[in-house]
Amino acid sequence: MTLFLLALALSMDAFAAALSQGARTSFNPGLGGALRVGLAFGFAQAIMPFLGWSLGIAFASLIQQFAHWVTFILLLIIGSHMAYEGLTHREEHQERAPIATGWPLFILAVATSIDAAAAGVTIALLGQPVLVACAVIGVVTLVVSAAGVIIGKMVGDFVGQRAEVLGGLVLIGIGTKVLMDHFYAAG
């Protein structure tokens, strides 16, 4: 149960990013698009704890020291770009925005999973085999993120043309929250 709760907590940033992906598209992402985003986020969330575990406790402080800044900067750039695109495209010239693929999806997946690298150091403390823990984290994130895309699409239809602005602001908010959580925890 502890492992499942850890996986669920680690998947929340990915869920919010997936939600914004669904909200910004005017296409119906369908199950295929939702699964593509879910697989990208799930894979990144499964790999990062393994990397954190592999690097060990000696490097955990280094990962924790910079993870918040890397996450903040990446999500600020992506979110700002999305918000700018949403504000500058007029409705009559609005291109239909597809779900992120390729490098943009890769960057989103990595940015939302950096904190999982530091969490990977704690996997040994849970008494779980590292590969099982990483698999559980990856599968939970896949399911939660795929659901986020579908829910985001429903919300995006309601919000209309400005869904891309909303999605960008959500990503900026996630990055800001990560940064604030770090400073709050640091005292």
What values do phi and psi take at 145, rounded to 5?
Answer: -70, -40
Encode pLDDT of 142-178 as tens digits.
999 999 889 888 877 666 556 667 767 877 887 788 7
Tokens at residue 43, please? Answer: 């894979």
Angle, alpha carbons 26-71-32 (nearest 5°): 35
Burial class of residue 179, CB neighbours in 10 A (0-12, 13-18, 19+): middle
- pTM for the complete prediction? 0.69
Encode pLDDT of 13-63 as tens digits.
888 888 888 877 767 778 888 999 999 999 999 999 888 788 765 665 666
Write out the residue range of the structural domain in which residue 121 sits: 2-186
Q: How many domains does the chain have?
A: 1
Tokens at residue 62, please? Answer: 């280094």
